[in-house]
Amino acid sequence: MTKDELLAELQKKIDGLYFPSESDFPFEIIVWENFANDMFNAEKWLEREGLATNAPLENATIEYLFRNLAVEQEWHDDVQREQVARFKALQDFLQANLSDLTVYRVGKINVTIFIIGKFGNDVVGLKTEAVET
């Protein structure tokens, strides 16, 4: 899969999908070209994204982030089951196509969430927000 194909498929997976929190936020695709060697240097990518390098930072897995979003429950209605299927498909796609997939949560109440992984020499992933009071 080429990077263009990956990005096109990723866009299809996030169209109309929102990360639920106290306010729901859309996902945005991010591409940091030639940044794979610095992916785990939080100070560099926080600065690149215009975020404070001393902001509270939490590392997680995509399984943890999507633990309530990609797992169907018996009490879910049809709409909720469809959302679960979309989050599960997104998770599976990211895990299948990006190496070193990781999640970073930046901030405490207004949280910026990065789901990023390596694709060749680039870092590719998603960025969204959450409000947690």
Residue recorded with tokens 């979309």: 86
Q: Is the pLDDT of residue 79 over 90?
A: no
Average pLDDT over residues 57-66: 95
Measured CA to CA, the distance from residue 18 to residue 64 in angstroms comes to 17
User: Using alpha carbons only, what angle is made at residue 89 by residues 75 and 132, rounded to the nearest 5 degrees?
Assistant: 65
The helix, strand and coil proportions of the chain, stated in percent and rounded to the nearest 5, come to 35, 30, 35
Tell me, what CATH number does 84's domain have?
3.40.1460.10
Give the model confidence (pLDDT) of 81-122 as tens digits.
899 899 999 999 999 999 999 999 999 999 999 999 999 999
Count of other CB atoms within 10 angstroms of residue 4: 8
Asked if pLDDT for residue 33 goes beyond 90, the answer is yes
* 32-52 average pLDDT score: 91
Q: Are 122 and 32 in contact (CB under 8 A)?
A: yes
Tokens of 9: 């498929």
Task: In whole angstroms, give the CA distance from residue 133 to residue 70.
Answer: 23
- Tally the domains of the chain: 1
Each residue of 14-32: pLDDT tens digit? 999 999 988 999 999 999 9
Q: Which domain holds residue 93?
A: 3-131
